[in-house]
Amino acid sequence: MVGEVTVRMSSKIGRNESCWCGSGKKYKKCHEQFDEKIAFIKSQGHEVPDRSIIKTPQQIECIRESCKINIAVLDYVAEHIRAGMTTQEIDDLVAQKTAELGAIPAPLHYEGYPKSVCTSINDVVCHGIPSEKVVLKDGDIVNVDCSTIYKGYFSDSSRMFCIGNVSPEKKKLVDVVKECVEIGLEKVQPWSFLGDMGQAVHEHAVANGYSVVREIGGHGVGLAFHEDPWVSYVSKAGEEMLLVPGMIFTIEPMVNMGTEKVFVDKEDDWTVYTADHQPSAQWEIMVLVTEDGHEVLCY
C-alpha cells in the first residue's frame, strides 16, 4: 500500500531516533508526548488507534488529491442526473469522468462488485448495482456513492438526489439525514471519542421519527478502501475509538423512514433493502481529525 505506516503503537522508539511519522524530527520533539497521551487513555480502558491508521502529513496531502477527484465526479453526476436516466447511465458518467481525471473507480471489481458506483433508490439502503433496467422516475430519491483511487490513495463520499417532484415525506428524510451528518461532524474533535459523534447522529434521527441502520456503518479510509475504525451511528458518547489528529474516516449514517431492519438481495448478494420497504437515505462525507477540530476532505 502506497506510503502506509506499518509501525505499531507498541513499537519502542528511542527519544533521539527519527519519529515514526516521517517528519524527519527526533521522536522526543515530535510524537513522543502524543504517544504518551494515547497510552494513558488506553490504560483507562478506552479503545485507541493504531499508528497504522494515523496518517502522516504527506499521506494526507495525497489523500486530498484523491478527494478532489471524487468531489469533481459527484459534481459531474449532479449536473446530469435526471428523471428518465438509467442507473447504468450514472455508472457510465462516473467511469468516464474518473478516467478523464486520471483515476480509478474504487468499487469496480472490489470483492466482486461489478460496477464503478453504487446507486441506491428509495428503499435501497446501500450498494445498489447500476443497471440498464433501472430508470430514475419522478419522485425518486437516490443515493450516489462514489469512491476513487488516485495514485494509490482512496477517497469516498455520497450524495442524495431528489428526482423531480419528491413527496414532502421523502424530502424531509433526505434533509434530516444531512442534518445528522452535520450534527455528528460537530462532535469530531481531537481526544474525544467516536461514540460522541455516533450518539449525536442517532439522537437527531430518532428525534425526527426515524431509525438508524445498525449492521452497516462508516469506516476509516485513505490508504485503503476500508480501514479501521468501523464507525457506528448507534453508539454512546465516551465510547468507541479515541479520536486523534491524523485519523480519517467517513460519517455516513443510513437512516430509514420505518424499521431499522434490513436485508441483502439473495440474487446479487450486494443490494441492501429496508425490511419494510420504506424509504432510506444516506449522505457520506470523509473527515480528517486535526489538531484543533476537523476538516471535511470529501463530500
Question: In CATH, what number is assigned to the domain containing residue 114?
Answer: 3.90.230.10
- With a cut of 70, say whether residue 8 has pLDDT above it: no
CB 287 within 8 A of CB 240: no
Is residue 30, in this structure, part of any structural domain at all? no
What are 82's three cell numbers? 435526471
3-state helix, strand, coil in the chain (%, to 5): 30, 25, 45
**Which pLDDT score is estimated for 13?**
84
**Which pLDDT score is estimated for 24?**
87
User: What is the percent of the chain with per-residue pLDDT over 90, rounded to a whole number?
Assistant: 93
Is residue 7, in this structure, part of any structural domain at all? no
pLDDT band at 3 (very low <50, low <70, confident <90, very high): very low
Is residue 69, in this structure, part of any structural domain at all? yes
What confidence tens digit (pLDDT) does each residue in 114-173 have?
Answer: 999 999 999 999 999 999 999 999 999 999 999 999 999 999 999 999 999 999 999 999
Q: Looking at residues 262-277, what average pLDDT do you find?
A: 98
**Which pLDDT score is estimated for 9?**
42
Is residue 223, in this structure, part of any structural domain at all? yes
Q: Find the domain containing 223 and state its range.
A: 51-298
Q: What is the CA radius of gyration of the chain?
A: 20
Higher per-residue pLDDT: 4 or 79:
79
Sign of CA dihedral 115, 266, 249, 202: positive
Mean confidence (pLDDT) of the chain: 95
* Cα–Cα dist 146/106, whole Å: 8
Q: How many domains does the chain have?
A: 1
Single out the residue of 155, 154, 159, 170 nearest to residue 90, CA to CA.
Answer: 159
* Cα–Cα dist 142/161, whole Å: 5
Report pTM. Answer: 0.93
Higher per-residue pLDDT: 14 or 241:
241
**Which pLDDT score is estimated for 137?**
98
Could you tell me where the DSSP H helices lie in the chain? 32-43, 57-80, 87-100, 168-186, 194-207
Question: Which of these ranges, 9-18, 166-175, 177-186, has the smallest mean pLDDT?
Answer: 9-18
User: What is the DSSP secondary-structure string of 190-211?
Assistant: TTSBHHHHHHHHHHHHHHTT-E
Residues 6+ apart with CB under 8 A from 103: 66, 69, 148, 149, 150
What confidence tens digit (pLDDT) does each residue in 208-248 have?
Answer: 999 999 999 999 999 999 999 999 999 999 999 999 999 99
Is residue 175, in this structure, part of any structural domain at all? yes
**Which pLDDT score is estimated for 234?**
97
Q: Looking at residues 90-101, what average pLDDT do you find?
A: 98
**Which pLDDT score is estimated for 11?**
61
Is residue 29, in this structure, part of any structural domain at all? no
Is residue 10, in this structure, part of any structural domain at all? no
* Cα–Cα dist 103/89, whole Å: 19
Is residue 44, in this structure, part of any structural domain at all? no
